[in-house]
Structure 1
């Protein structure tokens, strides 16, 4: 069984969290596509979804002020939205993505990277992982 339905599912989840390019008037719902791509933020092509029983994980990650996540990689496709604060994401190739609250990210897959919060407030990011039963969603790199 493949996870071909996941792009539609992730788009639906993002649409639930986003309201309107145009300001909705009272009682009129609206939606805005926040991110859609076949590429991750650094330009790499996204891989195919894994075979197996689908597993969706939604994780809120909080990075304290003036701190850094350890180097890691994701073996599954994932995307997120920075809810608050600012975050700098750096991959092993030296690509850098500067994020501010409200920015989406389509994360790199199987590429070592890390995030840095240089700000004075915690950075909070909500991340959606599209994996399969038995798969890790984050693999920390040895120090």
Structure 2
């Protein structure tokens, strides 16, 4: 239970930072809002240094039907996501839990086994940005 509360507090702090970030507008009506700025993943751990080698950026749109669970997996690269719709709950093997609602961001855990599940009536639709290396997979499934 402590980890669920910690996850919600961390998300609340990120959201507070999100809404306190300055908005910039020009005469054309353009607004820029910083969604997240952090050196830590959602579990509070510092992000690792970027590896040497050819950088590669990937952006995925992932839709998880209501009631579906992802397999246990980990990401060897830094990634961050923005939940467009639905309710996504993320679990780590050591019992930490993060609940995301539509409009919230997440900086994912790196090299930590975890899985997500779509809760509620709507699909969880998340856009995830991976900052890795061209020869490193973005996801590894647990055997």
Regarding TM over 0.5, the answer is: yes
Query: Which residue is 1:80 aligned to?
Result: 81
Deviation at 1:23, TM superposition (A): 10
- 1:1-143 residue pairs with structure 2 within 5 A? 27-142=28-143
Q: Please give the per-residue CA displacement for 1:48-68, whole angstroms capped at 9, x wherever unaligned.
A: 001100100000111111110
Q: d(CA) in 2 for partners of 1:118 and 1:94?
A: 18
TM-score, with length taken from structure 1: 0.80
Q: d(CA) in 2 for partners of 1:34 and 1:41?
A: 14
Decide which structure has greater helix share.
2
Query: Which residue is 1:17 aligned to?
Result: none
Mapped contact 2:64–2:125 kept (Cα < 8 A)? yes
* Structure 1 runs, 4 residues or longer, greater than 4 Å off: 20-26
Instruction: Mark the runs of 5 or more structure 2 residues left unpaired by the alignment.
Output: 1-20
Aligned residues: 123
Q: d(CA) in 2 for partners of 1:37 and 1:113?
A: 20
Q: d(CA) in 1 for partners of 2:24 and 2:50?
A: 35
Q: Please give the per-residue CA displacement for 1:3-51, whole angstroms capped at 9, x wherever unaligned.
A: xxxxxxxxxxxxxxxxx97696983212111111111001111000011
TM-score, with length taken from structure 2: 0.80
